Structure 1
Amino acid sequence: MEIRKLLVANRGEIAIRVFRACAAEAIATVAVVAPDDEGSLHARRANEVVEIDNYLHSEEHIRAARQAGADAIHPGYGFLAENADFAEAVEAGGLVFVGPTYDSLRRGGDKLEAKRAAEGAGVPVLPSGEPEEIGFPLMIKAAAGGGGRGMRIVREPSGLPDAVAAAGREAKAAFGDETLFFERYLERPRHVEIQLLADEHGHIYSLGERECSIQRRHQKVLEEAPSTALDPELRRQMSDAAIAFAQAIGYRSLGTVEFLLDGGEFFFLELNGRIQVEHPVTEEATGLDLVALQLAIARGEPIADPEATFRRHAVEVRLYAEDPVDFLPQAGTVERLRLPDAIRVDAGVAEGDEVGIAYDPLIAKLIASGTTREEALARLESSLGETKVEGVMTNLPFLRWLVSHPAVRAGGRRPRS
């Protein structure tokens, strides 16, 4: 199926990233903008723009695509990217959804259903059940969501009632579903994810891992590839497990299977049925264009094994408009923006743009690569030193501290902050 014009049902840097891939293939692009987001950078980078009421209204994206004469919709990440009803509505409207099937989104998006599918496929999972069965410490999780929302660590039985109530409220507010489950809690495991590529012809490939263990409040702060914790045999085992899970749910498109790694043991965590924020890490480490591959799959093309190997080491950090101490989002005008030229930068705003509090305050992703991990980190540290943002507070001081931290340089799990 040919894609001549594509609408991105998203904003910011991911919309611009998809536009760039489309431009390389002479695919016309359509941006959508909410009333409070007019003039944003992604709208200035598209071939045409359609105003919509809200980024979370699926019918608005479909209306905009029809109005613009688009053939396909790319959801990006966040917003409606993993919404199975949206994927189904796009296809029912005669448009191509550049992502997974709605059935696999439903199966993989529900954490309990995904965990059952993983276990059925022979993929290791953490014990779950009632608190008295799995013991303490345990983790409370929201069945419908992720990103740290609806999650609580409980170390003693006395703390369970309050934690359940708080997690339920948070899950209801974030996902509209207060269903919770209990899972064994691992103290300071590594967080390693496998990037998958799957077409509709039954081909599923692993493109290697990304190490995402450096986190703050369950949110990734620094990502890199390859992981310092994996040897070739463990990489093969984790890749095989991710592929087995994808086969079990009939997965298609790009996707990420996340694992917790505890010593030499790994356990299924969740599926991210979309392109990841940190996908540039894999691109820089392997030389592959993940968005181009995603578009090829959406066209129905059979994908030959890309035989992904790590040619370089790559590391990414995210530059946010946020307080570097308490990490609260900040708003303001970017009066001056100097981003480095020596490394890859995927930016969502430009000098003179407003950063509000209605949307993700991501300014840019900085991705450095090198022939060794040490070289990649040194290049990133130097580039962060060159970066300047004025007019709005950012986490730049924190990123500079982080990248120079001895624990990060040594390949450890995470420094305390």
Structure 2
Amino acid sequence: MGLIVAKFGGTSIGNGKRIRKAAQSVVNEYMDGKKVVVVVSAINKTTDELVAIADESIGKEVTEKQLAEILSLGERTSIRVFSSVLESLGVKSEYIDPSHELWPVITDDNYGKAQIDFERTEEQAQGLLSLLEQGIIPVVCGFLGRTENGEVTTLGRGGSDVTAFLLGHCLKADNVIIVTDVDGVMSTDPRKIDEAEKLDYISVEEMRDLATHGAQVLHPHALRFKDPEIKAKIISFEKGDLSDPGTEIVGPFEDSMGKKVCLHHEPISVVAVVGEDLLNQIGLLAKMTSLVADANINIYGISAGQNSITLFLDKEEADDAYHLLHDLVIAEDNLSSISLGRDIAMLTMINPDFIETPGVITEITNPLKENHINIVEISSSQTAIVLFINWEDGKAAYDLIKEVL
């Protein structure tokens, strides 16, 4: 028959007509023989409004526990409305909030950004299957959790996406469908570029990085629970059709938490070009990288400063790049010299939690400092940190970083 977990975002249930359209799309799948678990966010801007009310009325005196209870009212309202609409359309439904005996998402007591107890949640989620076997459609609050003591917690922004993929994982669903206000994942923001096109497919890794860098269609943490056997897609609420192809999210993470530490297997060499006022030389970097690219030489990293630009290249190809770039130094008045440096090790750390982990670079670099390992260069994005260090220190640095991540 197939089991679907369908998550409806706040915009997709932003008013009565949209809620009815969303409910009808669920009923259509139900009548087609599917089992459906519904996850809903708070209606439209409800959470923001509740935050503003709490801030204005209570201010800094509000506790995390109190705020979690207040914010939970958004999702608690939307599940009751959605479940009632389903029943008005002729199917059985039951809303599931943290007070319900079948509530599935069990967490610690970090009320504002709770950590999920995966073992207990997987165990508790099985209770939803009993409802499905009776032909009942469960409508579950997204974003919320519950402690073992029955206290309400919240999963942080994007928590409804997490709930949907988490339940999909626990229930071994066939499909997780994220219903939002766009047709799927676009090549760019269609509000900024009219020629933006919808993607038919996107990998989990690409979707995670896109979401981490600001795309609002899906929260990156949710993809931790994307199983390889479970299909997943992002569709628009406009069509009112859960079978719409939208954009399919393909594949799982390489490991369950999306974390990885890698030591590049061969030495990296440093080629540094020196000159004056380099940051204001329009097109200089393009000239350098084009020369290297035309020779089919890969660049692993670039460091740009006011008086130098450094390229990190494979050692076996660095000498060729060195000679090519020397010709550019001779030809450009603003460049004065070029050097070919020592062997360098490249360590890459990937973790979707980096963006929300204050002090993560200090956590990584302190063990290196304590063991007198010098960092030649460091670069970072929202999900990755790359360290370039002396080659002879590479393995020791790798072992130290593996201990702290």
TM-score (normalizing by structure 2): 0.28
Greater gyration radius? 2
Q: Which has the higher helix share?
A: 2
